[in-house]
Amino acid sequence: MDYIKQRLIEIGHPKADIVRKLTKEHGDKVIQDVKMGQVMTGMKGVVSLLTCTSKLDPEEGIRFRGYSIPELREKLPKIHDDGEPLPEGLFFLMLLGEMPTKDDVNFISNQWAQRGHGIPPHVFDVINALPKDAHPMIQFNTAILAMSTESQFRKAYLAGMDKKDYWGPTYEGVMDLISRLPIIAAYIYRRVFFDGKYIDPDPSLDWAGNLAHMMGYDSEEIKRLMRLYMVIHADHEGGNVSAHATHLVGSVLSNPYYSFSAGMNGLAGPLHGMANQDVMHWINKMKREIGAEEPSKEQIQEYAKKTIEKGQVIPGYGHAVLRKTDPRFLVQLDFARKYLPNAPYIKLVSNIYEVVPEILLSTGKVKNPWPNVDAISGALLTSYGITEFPIYTVLFGVSRALGVLTQLVWDRLYGLPIERPKSQNLAWFMEKAGITE
Ligand code: CMX
């Protein structure tokens, strides 16, 4: 058994005892009242999930095991001192709750490099059977499901396994799956946009650097961007759709591939991860309709107002939890200002940031008028020549695997049971409200 699994046992088993104690000895404790409005608006604010990998504060934004994004940028191991943190380190931190050393990061990097070779050939056949113009998220998710033939969890379950041991084969599946996602993502990218001219992984590169390399980008700056991108999109607590869907499906002991695939179906929605490409569509449509490469702030204002009047959302703005500018937006802006001070799309995104919040506020209903992670990520990728918008959500998905699959390992370490909230019909809610129609 490798030292990470050993450490998971040392840390995880006492925590699983606490979860059992909370259930058995404190199960009747009331922790929260739930309001009618919370149920009707997507369970906002209802505490109903146990997640330790990250915590989202409405004002401050995300913290991963207690560390903010600026702190991660400072403390997580990097390849170059002035570079960006390695996602391998964030995975270690989320998994074990401990800041990794360079050796820890190298261990994970090597594990993923080795395990990446194990993609069975039928997975590529399955991708190739899809039309080339099938959205990359369809191809990505189909490949994830096709890879579940490799699931060690199902084999171990059928062989007969103590409940306490479920986390072990889950961890193995999670490590395999994460190692293979960049290869799958790059394969889809090269298949759809570069006539199937594939690029082999470079064993000397880290996980995110290799993704950039296999996509066809070898500059150090793009690799830095990819590392940052993979870190900031990795996790956003347990209640976001991709995390919650992964957890929900995982709660019936579906293997990590099925569980993650559920999360990726959720990520493909325009109100979640698909927003990153919708932002670019919105910007380009605005440029076309206005007939200007660099629309003025007044023109952006007008266009944003029109979008709202048509009953549409402005992609990249708003959030179900956040009530301030997303720190994931700010860190990307910081990166852009350092490396791409004159990029037209970054200037445009900055101008949009200056005018759109006021317009959203003026609607009187938008709870958070500020930009989220998706408001700028596409502009950054585009500025580096990665102009194929449909791949953006796939990149988000590769990163999101780090968080939601770590959560899945912990779900199994804690021994969490099947998730089964209660639903009621409309008459029940009307009776509670004391109304008849
Ligand atoms: N543009 C226009 N209207 C918006 C808006 C936006 N960016 N954000 C919210 N609103 C509207 C909602 O549609 C809702 O309108 P109705 O009352 O008419 O239904 C109203 O404002 C209140 O919504 P809210 O409570 O502020 O926001 P929700 O928690 O319901 O939704 C989110 C959050 C992210 C889905 C929403 O802000 C949105 O649609 N944003 C645009 C899409 C986007 O950027 N999604 C990515 C989020 C980050 C991610 O997961 O990747």
Residue spans per domain, the chain? 1-24+56-272+392-437, 275-383
**CATH fit for domain 275-383, picks 1.20.1260.10, 1.10.10.10, 2.60.40.10, 1.10.230.10:** 1.10.230.10
pLDDT of residue 437: 84
Tokens encoding 392: 């953006």
CB atoms within 10 A of CB 120: 13
Tokens encoding 103: 């050796």
Does the pLDDT of residue 99 top 90, yes or no? yes
Q: Is the CB of 275 under 6 A from ligand 1?
A: yes
| Residues 6 or more apart whose Cβ sits within 8 Å of residue 220 | 80
CA–centroid distance, residue 399 to ligand 1 (Å):
23
Alpha helices in 251-343 (DSSP H): 256-267, 275-290, 297-309, 327-339
| pLDDT tens column, 332-360 | 999 999 999 999 999 999 999 999 999 99
Q: Is the CB of 315 under 6 A from ligand 1?
A: yes
pLDDT of residue 332: 98
Whose tokens are 């007044």? That residue is 298
Residue 394 contacts residue 188 (beta carbons within 8 Å): yes
Q: Which of 148-152, 172-176, 308-312, 323-327 has the lowest mean pLDDT?
A: 148-152
Q: Is the CB of 271 under 6 A from ligand 1?
A: yes
Q: Is 272 a catalytic residue?
A: yes
Residue 357 contacts residue 317 (beta carbons within 8 Å): yes
Sign (positive or negative) of CA dihedral 23, 26, 28, 34: negative
Average pLDDT of the residues in 409-424: 98
- Give the model's confidence band at 395: pLDDT under 50 very low, under 70 low, under 90 confident, else very high: very high
C-alpha to C-alpha distance for 191 and 401, rounded to whole angstroms = 22
pTM, to two decimals: 0.98
What is the average pLDDT score of the chain?
97
pLDDT of residue 247: 98
Amino acid at 111: Q
Q: Which atom of ligand 1 is nearest to the CA of 317?
A: 7
CB atoms within 10 A of CB 15: 14
Name the percent of the chain lying above pLDDT 70.
100
Q: Is the CB of 136 under 6 A from ligand 1?
A: no
CA–centroid distance, residue 219 to ligand 1 (Å):
36
| pLDDT tens column, 199-249 | 999 999 999 999 999 999 999 999 999 999 999 999 999 999 999 999 999
pLDDT of residue 253: 97
Which of these, 190, 235, 237, 196, lies nearest to 211 by C-alpha position? 190
| pLDDT tens column, 136-187 | 999 999 999 999 998 999 999 999 999 999 999 999 999 999 999 999 999 9
DSSP-derived letter for residue 148 is G
Q: Is 213 a catalytic residue?
A: no
Q: Is 202 a catalytic residue?
A: no
Q: Is the CB of 318 under 6 A from ligand 1?
A: yes
| pLDDT tens column, 261-303 | 999 999 999 999 999 999 999 999 999 999 999 999 999 999 9
- Give the model's confidence band at 331: pLDDT under 50 very low, under 70 low, under 90 confident, else very high: very high
Average pLDDT of the residues in 32-39: 97
Residue 367 contacts residue 55 (beta carbons within 8 Å): no
* Atom 29 in ligand 1: residue holding the nearest Cα: 320
Considering the domain 1-24+56-272+392-437, what is its CATH architecture?
Orthogonal Bundle (1.10)
